[in-house]
A = this chain, B = another copy of it.
Amino acid sequence: MATVIDGKAVAQTIRSEIAEEVRLLSQKYGKVPGLAVVIVGNRKDSQSYVGMKRKACAELGIKSFDVDLPEQVSQADLIKQVHELNANPDVHGILVQLPLPKHINEEKVLTEISLEKDVDGFHPLNIGKLAMKGRDPLFLPCTPKACIELLQRSGVTIKGKKAVVVGRSNIVGLPASLLLLKADATVTIVHSHTSQPESIIREADIVIAAAGQPMMIKGSWIKPGAAVIDVGTNAVDDPTRKSGYRLVGDVHFEEASKTAGWITPVPGGVGPMTVTMLLKNTLEGAKRYIEQNN
């Protein structure tokens, strides 16, 4: 039976480490990290994510700058807000909650965020430096960074291992592959055009599942002893629940946990780690800025 990686517990440990660093920073320089969380409109899911992020900031002593804009805000006004946050020396990280309303060009808005405050790590220059040998991005994208942290803190060796990443999104699959490659794994990227993904996944010592396909990865696809990190968070109908649904990952947890060496559950695996990595990026950005300017 696999060791179930408790993402909540790992996240809690890292949050304590962050809180301690925030305390030291405040003691030494009289300053704390600042994270601006920008939300446009009233989407319920976005409101809930943003609420979580702001609450987590408060818990760790990170100052949260709340920017709530109406659904109808113009792209120009949103960009003006981003520029003001870029110029504000107390803001060390800027997060614009996605998706934005249709009349706004997301790519354009994200590119306006100062590189030094791109705590999401989505700027193409950051991705380029992540891809290249001998270069380092200012920030690593939060979810891929969470996957690597979970592996490392569980004692899973990455160097020299076969890693398979299922999915190639800009937010998870692609940067996760690049991070694993930088950590000297032999990396294969599997996606919707891959034929017989199961035969490739069966060879993997490390599986990162980020396809957004509920329970697509069966227990029989997992190599005995493999480490399985499940990024999928899919809502499936469940009439036995009051809500009418439950959350499942991209991996069939019940089956796979019989074969894998390590596995993350959904929920309670990667999820709680992602916001934690955002806070860690904010801390790192703040340290870089404060130490250079004091």
Contacts and interface: CB of A to CB of B under 8 A. Distances in A.
Nearest to A174: B131
Nearest to A184: B193
Interface in A121-169: 123-135, 159-160, 168-169
Given A186-B193, A189-B181, A194-B186, A124 B129 contact: yes
Interface residues of A, number: 34
A187 interface: yes
B133 A127 contact: no
A190 interface: yes
Contacts of A134: 170
Nearest to A164: B188
A191 interface: yes
A200 interface: yes
A131 B132 CA distance: 10
Contact of A131 (B127, B135, B194): B127
Copies in the complex: 2
A293 interface: no
A99 to B, nearest CB: 14
Interface in A197-243: 200
B133 A170 contact: yes
Contacts of A181: 168, 189
Given A128-B124, A132-B174, A191 B186 contact: yes
B178 A131 contact: yes
A27 interface: no
A186 B188 contact: yes
Nearest to A180: B189
A195 interface: yes
Nearest to A190: B186
A114 to B, nearest CB: 15
28 contacts: A107-B135, A123-B128, A124-B125, A124-B128, A124-B131, A124-B132, A125-B128, A126-B128, A128-B128, A128-B131, A131-B131, A131-B178, A132-B174, A133-B174, A134-B170, A159-B193, A160-B193, A184-B191, A184-B193, A185-B193, A186-B189, A186-B190, A186-B191, A186-B194, A186-B200, A187-B188, A188-B188, A188-B189
A13 to B, nearest CB: 29
A160 to B, nearest CB: 5
